[in-house]
Structures are given as structure tokens and as C-alpha cells.
Amino acid sequence: MLRIAVPNKGALSEPTAALLAEAGYRRRSNAKELVLVDEPNDVELFFLRPRDIAVYVGSGTVDVGITGQDMLADSRTVGEVILPLGFARSTFRFAAPDGADRTLESLQGARIATSYENLVEDHLAEHGVDATVVHLDGAVESSIRLGVAEVIADVVETGTTLRQAGLDVFGDPIMTSEAVLFSRVDLELEDDAAHTLEVLVRRIRGVLVAREYVLIDYDIPTEKLEGAVAVTPGFEAPTVSELHRSGWSAVRSMVAVSDTNHVMDALYEAGARAILVTAIQACRM
Ligand SMILES: Nc1ncnc2c1ncn2[C@@H]1O[C@H](COP(=O)(O)OP(=O)(O)OP(=O)(O)O)[C@@H](O)[C@H]1O
Ligand SMILES: O=P(O)(O)OC[C@H]1O[C@H](OP(=O)(O)OP(=O)(O)O)[C@H](O)[C@@H]1O
Ligand SMILES: [Mg+2]
């Protein structure tokens, strides 16, 4: 059986559960279930704290795991990213009330509060800055008002939390992060488990593609086909069939969800009609 570490709490837990369920794996029946054996899919899911997942995967007690790249970096585990998963996207940044006037160099001698102590210490060391890192478990934005630090380093997505705390980011992002499926670098699996991992990766890729792409169908006068096909090149190549109307073709292709309306406009202007967009339920690429 392939052993997979899955986040049991926080920002990663629901999107991970949804992804695995869409990929055909069993969902746990309640939030207290710590281990789930999914016999038909030959996997065992261990529900662990996202912060601990890198430790288990790194030590080899679990084969692969899902966590944030920032947490992986903070654990100092040398992991191998198998697949970026496209959720829990964030940046990791310094912020302070006087952030607008600060630079990385201004951190010399400062007290910096963070839940990602190793990540921050490694970044400071890399840039030759000597500062004191204060470890806090969470809600680090409050640490400045409470006099524990002058600066924080934390996860930023929309920036709402920082804005509400009256803090401004400064310096380059320490890192950008998203959820990833990862293993340790020298992972060696038995044939059965290696095959199960291949299936897992193929299924997750299928879910990600189904989420990010739609199918587009349209009719086009055959003389205008080349122009239209250039707008919808698809993954490999679009499918072109003959329409039961002389001089017309029917085209089917895949388009990124985010481009759909621009592509439909461009196709219309290129002479396409009956342009239809359909969601992809599932796929294997
Ligand atoms: N608001 C957010 N937007 C995007 N990604 C986020 C957000 N908050 C956290 N993350 C990401 O989710 C991952 C796990 O963070 P999370 O906040 O769930 O853990 P935690 O802080 O240890 O747990 P908790 O907040 O439950 O105490 C990290 O990789 C982080 O970058
Ligand atoms: O930029 P934003 O969209 O505001 O999101 C970022 C915030 O979300 C997370 O907080 P979380 O709710 O996990 O609390 P925590 O700080 O206790 O981890 C993170 O630690 C930031 O505080
Ligand atoms: Mg958090």
C-alpha cells in the first residue's frame, strides 16, 4: 500500500480532501479519523498536522505527502516536488508598521516574530543579516502591538490580515508557495506502490486539468478554419470534423477556463458560429 500524509487541519485540509475525493479516493467520515485505509485504491491516508507532514515524509515513515512549499522549506527536509497542486497559493513576506520605509538591511539587530523560524533564519543567513527570530505559533500580526517584535514574517494571500493590523510588507518575497505533492528525494518504492503512486499522480493531474480547462465546440466556414484553429490550438491539436453542410467544419478543442470569453470573442470575429463551452467532468491526459 502507498502511504500518503494528508493535512488534518487549516488552510490545506479541505482543498486536499476535495482534490483526493475528486480523484476517486475515499473521504474520511469525520475529522477525528486519523488513519484511513482505502483498500480498492491500495492507499493508506494518514491525517497529520501540515507542519509535521514534511517530517514524516522526510524520515521515510510515510511515502508521499501534501503540504505547503513554505512548510516544507521551514522543516528543512530536502523534499522532491512531484506535483504542484494549485491551491493554498501565498507569498511569505516581512511586514512592519513602518514597512514603507524599511529594507531587508534594516533588519540588522531587529526582533522578527514568525511561525516559520527556520525559513526566516535561512533567508537572513543567506543575505548576511543578523537578527533575532522570535518563534510564535500563530496570529503573529499581534506580536508588534504587544511589544514582542518590531517586524513579522508571515504568510500573505490577499493582504487583508496585514492591512487590518496596520502593517506594510517590505523587501522581496522570502518565497512563493502553494500546496504540493512531494516525497523525499531518494524515495524507493516496491513495484506495487510505485504503480499506485503513478496512478495517484495521473488522477490528480486529471482533476487539475478538468478544473482548469473547458471544452469548446464551434462551427466555422472551412475557408476560415486555419485562422480559428490558431485561436484554439488545444493541448495537442484540435479535433476537426466535417459539418453536414457543405463548406463548413466543426471544431472541438480545450481552452483554459480563464481565457474562455476572450477566445469566444476571437472565434466569433474569425467567423465561427454556434460556439459552445462545456465543463470537463474528469480526464486522463
Ligand atoms: N490565507 C491563506 N491563503 C493561502 N494559503 C494559505 C493561507 N493561510 C495559510 N496558507 C498556506 O497553507 C499552508 C498551511 O497553513 P495553515 O495556516 O493551515 O497552517 P497553520 O498556520 O499551522 O495552522 P493554523 O492556522 O490552523 O494554526 C501553508 O503552506 C500556508 O502558506
Ligand atoms: O493575506 P490574507 O488573505 O489575509 O491571508 C494570510 C493570513 O492567513 C493565515 O492566517 P491563519 O488564518 O491561518 O491564522 P494563523 O496566523 O494563526 O496561522 C496567515 O497566517 C495569514 O495571517
Ligand atoms: Mg495559519
pLDDT tens string 101-132: 999 999 999 999 999 999 999 999 999 999 99
For 10-60, how does the pLDDT look when each residue is reduced to its tens digit (9 = 90+)?
999 999 999 999 999 999 999 899 999 999 999 999 999 999 999 999 999
For 179-220, how does the pLDDT look when each residue is reduced to its tens digit (9 = 90+)?
999 999 989 999 999 999 999 999 999 999 999 999 999 999
SS3 letters across 193-259: HHHHHHHHHHHHHHHHHHHHEEEEEEEEEHHHHHHHHHHCCCCCCCEEEECCCCCEEEEEEEEEHHH
Interface predicted TM-score of the whole assembly (ipTM), two decimals? 0.95
Q: What residue ranges line ligand 2, CB within 6 angstroms? A: 11, 138-139, 154-161
Q: How confident is the model at residue 236 (pLDDT cuts 50, 70, 90)?
A: confident
- Domains identified in the chain and CATH numbers: 2-88+179-188 (3.40.190.10), 90-176 (3.40.190.10), 213-279 (3.30.70.120)
Residue of 70, 136, 152, 155 to mutate, ligand 1, most atoms within 8 A of C-beta = 155
Q: State the pLDDT at residue 285.
A: 86
Atom of ligand 1 nearest to the CA of 70: 29
The answer for residues whose C-beta is within 8 angstroms of residue 274's C-beta and 6 or more apart is 217, 218, 219
Query: What's this model's pTM, rounded to 2 decimal places?
Result: 0.92
Could you say which ligand is closest to the alpha carbon of residue 71? 1
Cα of 88 vs centre of ligand 1, distance in Å, is: 7
Rounded to a whole number, what is the largest CA-CA distance in the chain? 78
Angle at 35 between CA 29 and CA 40, to 5 degrees: 75
- Check pocket membership of 138 for ligand 1, CB cut-off 6 A: yes
pLDDT exceeds 90 at position 228: yes
- What whole-number percentage of the chain has pLDDT above 70? 100
